[in-house]
């Protein structure tokens, strides 16, 4: 079955998403290496193709119309799938080369690994990297079974049976839809209320879920989840319906918090909800060569 008539090109959808993230047609154009007039022409052509007004253009920037917001929401998973396709093909080629096999949890794979790999390529352009993505428990299992030379996981504790090094940390935040009652709270949310509320959670084995359970240990057991979903993108989409809150990495929420499609609910108490990012490897095979270079880059946060 072919694509439906009128299917937009990925490049112009990516440009529209960049406008949503930056709030500026000019900044989006710069991100894509084109002029602002060229970007404006491409968005206008997309509006004609879809027969929708997607942007409200003004002297202080460009804002998405309600139709534009809907198109961006639909475009994001399409673009994520396209990137996964390209990364997967590259990983298949890398598997054939058999150079450096890396496994990473989803948040780290999305928001940290690309920068590290770009720098690694600049230093060792001959290195071929095969990247596999899973939750933290799955990544640890890949390293234990020698399917990956180096893993990157998140969570409150290092996985058992592996050497590890803390490389960074990450803030988790409570988010709700704008129409949710918590969005209008005038006081910070008590931890006991968060623990007692059914949340939209990642699946068992997720570092985000483990970190949340550890953080709320003194406030009580987590309530049964409102839903369990296998990706951050799916959880964000579910939260926007207003049914239930979620706790997610701030790294993954910049666009949604910026345009207030999701609202951050502050927590009671002096401590932030944080978790560690760690590199992991087998005791008997410490990182060497490209793996050691990648570990050094990750440790320095590059």
Q: pLDDT tens digits for 207-234? A: 888 889 888 888 888 899 999 998 889 9
In this predicted model, what pLDDT tens digit does every residue of 102-113 receive, in sequence order? Answer: 999 999 999 899
**Inter-residue contact 245 to 199 (CB < 8 Å):** yes
In this predicted model, what pLDDT tens digit does every residue of 141-186 receive, in sequence order? Answer: 999 999 999 999 998 888 999 999 999 988 999 999 999 999 999 9
Q: Which of these ranges, 11-20, 61-70, 142-151, has the smallest mean pLDDT? A: 61-70
Q: Give phi and psi for 22, each to the nearest 5.
A: -95, -20
Give the CATH number of domain 98-302; options: 3.10.400.10, 3.40.190.290, 3.30.70.20, 3.40.50.300: 3.40.190.290
CA angle (90, 93, 97) in 5-degree steps: 130
Mean pLDDT of the chain: 89
Question: What is the rounded distance in angstroms from the CA atom of residue 170 to the CA atom of residue 92?
Answer: 30
Question: What is the rounded distance in angstroms from the CA atom of residue 31 to the CA atom of residue 195?
Answer: 40
Count Cβ atoms below 10 Å from residue 134 Cβ, excluding itself: 21
% of the chain surpassing 90 pLDDT: 58
Q: Which of these ranges, 42-51, 54-63, 123-132, 287-296, has the smallest mean pLDDT? A: 54-63
Q: For residue 84, what are the contacts with CB-CB under 8 A and spacing of at least 6?
A: none
Q: For residue 111, what are the contacts with CB-CB under 8 A and spacing of at least 6?
A: 249, 251, 252
Q: What is the pTM of this model?
A: 0.63
How large is the average pLDDT for residues 185-194? 93
Tell how strand 263-265 and strand 227-229 pair up. Answer: unpaired
Is 98-302 in the same CATH topology as 10-75? no
The architecture that CATH gives domain 10-75 is Orthogonal Bundle (1.10)
Residue spans of the domains in the chain: they are 10-75, 98-302
How large is the average pLDDT for residues 57-81? 87
In this predicted model, what pLDDT tens digit does every residue of 252-298 receive, in sequence order? Answer: 998 899 999 999 999 998 677 888 999 999 999 999 889 999 999 99
What string of H, E and C letters represents the secondary structure of the chain?
CCCCCCCCCHHHHHHHHHHHHHCCHHHHHHHCCCCHHHHHHHHHHHHHHHCCCCEEEECCEEEECHHHHHHHHHHHHHHHHHHHHHHHHHHHHHHHHCCEEEEEEHHHHHHCHHHHHHHHHHHCCCCCEEEEEECHHHHHHHHHCCCCCEEEEEECCCCCCCEEEEEEEEEEEEEECCCCHHHHCCCCECHHHHHHCCCEEECCCCHHHHHHHHHCHHHCCCCCCCEEECCHHHHHHHHCCCCCCEEEEHHHHHHHHHCCCCEEECECCCCCCEEEEEEEECCCCCCCCHHHHHHHHHHCCC
């Amino acid at each position: 079955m072919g694509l439906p008539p009128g299917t937009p090109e990925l490049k112009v959808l990516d440009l529209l998403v960049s406008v949503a993230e930056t709030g500026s047609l000019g900044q989006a154009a710069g991100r894509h290496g084109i002029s602002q007039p060229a970007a404006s022409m491409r968005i206008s052509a997309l509006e004609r193709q879809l027969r929708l007004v997607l942007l409200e253009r003004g002297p202080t920037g460009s804002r998405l119309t309600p139709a534009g917001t809907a198109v961006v929401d639909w475009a994001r998973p399409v673009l994520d799938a396209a990137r996964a396709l390209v990364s997967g093909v590259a990983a298949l080629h890398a598997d054939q080369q058999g150079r450096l096999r890396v496994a990473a949890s989803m948040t780290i794979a999305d928001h940290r690994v690309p920068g590290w790999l770009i720098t690694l390529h600049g230093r060792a352009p001959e290195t071929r990297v095969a990247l596999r993505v899973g939750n933290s428990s799955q990544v640890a299992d890949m390293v234990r079974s020698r399917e990956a030379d180096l893993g990157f996981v998140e969570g409150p504790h290092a996985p058992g049976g592996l050497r590890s090094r803390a490389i960074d940390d990450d803030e988790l935040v409570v988010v709700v839809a704008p129409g949710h009652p918590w969005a209008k709270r005038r006081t910070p949310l008590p931890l006991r209320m968060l623990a007692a509320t059914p949340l939209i959670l990642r699946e068992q084995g997720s570092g985000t879920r483990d970190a949340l359970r550890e953080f709320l240990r003194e406030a009580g057991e987590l309530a049964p989840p409102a839903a369990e979903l296998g990706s951050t993108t799916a959880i964000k989409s579910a939260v926007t319906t207003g049914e239930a809150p979620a706790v997610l990495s701030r790294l993954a929420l910049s666009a949604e918090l910026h345009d207030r499609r999701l609202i951050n609910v502050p927590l009671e108490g002096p401590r932030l909800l944080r978790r560690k990012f760690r590199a992991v490897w087998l005791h008997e095979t410490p990182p060497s060569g490209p793996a050691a270079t990648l570990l050094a880059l990750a440790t320095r946060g590059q």
